[in-house]
Structure 1
Amino acid sequence: MDDGRSVLVLTNPYDVTADVVLRLLAERRVPVARVDPGADLHTVASLTATYRTGDQRGTLRTASRELDTTRIRSVWVRRPTPYEGPQGLSDQDRRFAAEQALPIAHAVVAYLAELRLIFGAFDFVVTTAGDWHFLECNPNGQWAWQPTETTTAIAHAIADELERGPDT
């Protein structure tokens, strides 16, 4: 199902779990743009955007390609490098940026069900008394360490969804 629209993958360059899915998408000839927003947007990539009533467009430029944001079929947020801000930030400013990320992360977790995520790795803590406590639903849980049959099945399921894109 190649309609020319790209899959945007936001992850670090050492994400072997993403590599498994990206190989499948490449075999299927699905265009993919891989960007690490925590690092690339400060060095080798740029994003420009225009928002008007009823019109949103933009361009993501990397060292190897230019992506029209209106032609993105799906986005996979895997494991981007943590945002540390641009070079030259003072330690105080860097700490402030990191502290602001935590409340945002909590708000995102609260809305996961509303976002209808297709994949989630749930983390719990179980006390010695057997009480379960929910920690997080991780949409980017590691799974490439599973037995080959399991890894292959998960990779195919994620690649199928990324290739398909949204139902809208």
Structure 2
Amino acid sequence: MTLPSPVLVVTGLDDVTADVVIEELGQRRVPVIRLDPADFPTAVTVNAQVHGSGLVGEVRTRTRIAALDGIRAVYWRRPGPYAAPADLDERDARWCVDQARYGLGGILASLPGAHYVNHPWRNRAAEYKPAQLAAAARCGLRVPPTLLTNDVDAARRFAADHGPVVYKPLYNSDYTDPQGRGMTVWVEEVAPEALDDGVGRTMHLFQQRVDKVADIRLTAVGDRLFAVRIDGSPGLDWRRHYDDLSYELIDTPAGVAESVHDYLGRFGLAYGAFDFGLDAAGEWHWYECNPNGQFAWFPEHITSQIASAIADRLQHPDLDRR
């Protein structure tokens, strides 16, 4: 089936956040083509030629066909890793994966006229924590004292001067135990005496712990902001305690809203999921921004509003392009 002016959703099969947006688009009768680069080349075929207006041609999945120059918007979510046919040896498979990444990936990132939420290269640039921290500070957001280092002596001094201090991973890489079971590295408080030579083995991020009374997840969709106060977490990292949490939509202070929009503009993002700590005085302390953060775990009345805002941008990309 050839789809007229579809929205391309680039993601894997198991993506609840993408599912709710696709459902919203379906209710609006907006055509959608869902594509996972992990299905290339076995279930995805692409033909692209370069013309004066850019790339023309088509992309085919098992059930859909779309013209490359007819895709109105791209919702870039959680695509699977590029793959190679199973019958290839390791060397040839690695070569094919690289060709797919830079070939298919380059095509999907260069669709003429398409509006991206977010563009994959913008997502990648905005995932680096040092760049996030620097941008947040320049935008006027309240950033806790932070140290990035592989120097154990500097880490101990920072923890002594700014304690209590927490450790945060710089990137959520896949991490497994000796039995191959997936593990998560959480935000944890650390004492100066607990820091050892392991600090010197890689880069670490240490940050002064915010004396918070609640957490805030602010989801930005273009100019629309959905700030959710999160209460009930018994520990530092609320992601460990979903069953204990309550959620309330709240207003975003004008100064924070202005800084968030500035932040999005600096990275060229149409979407961002910002995390803050709220102290007893009502101050918002910025932690990070996930340019591709989840939101479908919120209660339905919150999830549906965010999904609708994203669908608006995908359905009507000319209303507010970044």
Under TM normalisation by the shorter chain, which class is it? 0.7 to 0.9
Does 2:312 match 1:154?
no
Alignment deviations for residues 93-123 of structure 1 (CA, whole Å, 9 cap, x no partner)? 74x95xx99xx7896326x745632211136
Q: Which residue is 2:13 aligned to?
A: 13
Structure 1 segment 83-102 matched on structure 2, within 5 A: 83-87=82-86, 88-90=88-90, 94=94
Aligned amino acid, residue 77 of structure 2:
R
Name the CA shift for 1:65/1:23 in 2 (closer, same or farther; >3 Å). Answer: same
Match of 1:56 in 2: 55
Q: CA deviation at 1:82?
A: 2.0
Q: Does 1:117 align with 2:269?
A: yes
Contact 2:36 2:80 in 1 (8 A): yes
Distance 1:92 1:113, change over 3 A: farther
Amino acid at match of 1:22: I
Query: 1:14-43: per-residue Cα shift (whole Å, max 9, x none)?
Result: 111111111110110000000001x12121
Whole-angstrom CA distance in 1 between matches of 2:91 and 2:292: 29
Give secondary structure in 1 for the equivalent of 2:47: strand
In 2, the alpha carbon distance for the partners of 1:152 and 1:106 equals: 23
Contact 2:59 2:68 in 1 (8 A): yes
Q: TM-score, normalised by structure 2?
A: 0.41
Give the distance between the partners of 1:92 and 1:105, measured in 2 at CA: 30
Q: Is the Cα contact below 8 Å between 1:73 and 1:166 reproduced in 2?
A: no
Higher relative contact order (CA 8 A, sep 6+): 1
The change in CA–CA distance for 1:59 and 1:106 in structure 2 (over 3 A counts) is closer
Q: Return closer, same or farther for 1:133/1:30 CA change in 2, 3 Å cut-off.
A: closer
What is the distance in 1 between the residues matched to 2:123 and 2:78?
A: 17
Q: CA deviation at 1:150?
A: 1.0
**Which amino acid letter does the alignment assign opposite residue 118 of structure 1?**
A
C-alpha distance in 2, partners of 1:89/1:27? 45
- In the other structure, the counterpart of 1:22 is 22
8 Å Cα contact 2:85-2:93 kept in structure 1: no
The equivalent residue for 2:282 is none
| Inter-partner Cα distance in structure 1 for 2:315 and 2:123 | 29
- Aligned residue-pair number: 152
Q: 1:156 to 1:133 in 2, by over 3 A?
A: closer
Per the normalisation by structure 1, the TM-score is: 0.74
Aligned to 1:108: 125
